[in-house]
Amino acid sequence: MRTILIALLFIVFFILSIPLFLLELIIGVFSIRARTILAQKVISVMCRAVLWLGGVKVTAMGMENVPKNEAVVYVFNHRSYFDIVISYATVPNLAGFISMEKMKKVPFINVWMIFLQCLFIERGNTREGLKTINAGIELLKKGHSIFIAPEGKRNFKGDIDMLPFKEGSLRLAKRTGCAIIPVAINNADKIYEAQAPWIKKTNVVIEYGKPVYINDLEGDNRKFAGAYVQRIIYEMLKKNQNIL
């Protein structure tokens, strides 16, 4: 029943998206930032509605750790499509995701992602990957935060285990000097992936950790900043298992 309700919500949302797209295009002529603000407000409401209909109780913590008035790189563990839904329902500032290239081909969703200033990356294509990194750097300089999953794909191993973080994924933070916010998401895979295609009532936890500045790290922690941030996220996941 929850799955059907969410499917109906998406149908209504897609219909409403048509006039909203027109409004977004008009606003974008005058201000890209204003267009992005409106897009994120719309998507935030939509994500909260999806979670409510799905019976998902979200415990969100640590939003006060996110620096105000500056862009950050959110680094999160990736276990579910719902990671994005949970993030947009709770994130305290403007942010886009670095996503797989194939998401460009998903109707309606791809347009909203463009309005949210998400970026797309093609696995195995170094040249295009570099272009994405450079585009991300420009977004960060303009004050627009970015979510990235250094595991590179969804991980279904254990409850809090993660795939190795790709060190190159933190290049955005290294080249801009902006803060990394470790983001730990517990139990998101139990919403959908564990019993796909059905949505299940679930408790989840998302915690925004304290900022990490790569330039402040020393030795191996600086050289292998990805592994360092992964250890922080792991400890957050381990701690928050007790909240579920």
Which pLDDT tens digit goes with each residue over 27-59? 999 999 999 999 999 999 999 999 999 999 999
Average pLDDT along the chain: 95
Q: What is the mean pLDDT of residues 162-184?
A: 95
Q: Which pTM was predicted?
A: 0.96
More confident residue, 232 or 105: 232
- With a cut of 90, say whether residue 164 has pLDDT above it: yes
Cβ neighbour number for residue 27 with a 10 Å cutoff: 18
Give the number of domains in the chain.
Answer: 1
Closest CA to 66 of 107, 36, 29, 95: 95
Buried residues in 80-108 as b, exposed as e (16+ CB within 10 A): bebbbbbbbbbbebbbbbbbeeeeeeeee
In whole angstroms, give the CA distance from residue 230 to residue 215: 17
Could you tell me the CATH number of the domain that includes residue 25? 3.40.1130.10
Domain that holds residue 55: 2-240
pLDDT, residue 18, reads 96
Task: Average the pLDDT over 124-140 and give the result.
Answer: 87
Does the pLDDT value for residue 211 go beyond 90?
Answer: yes
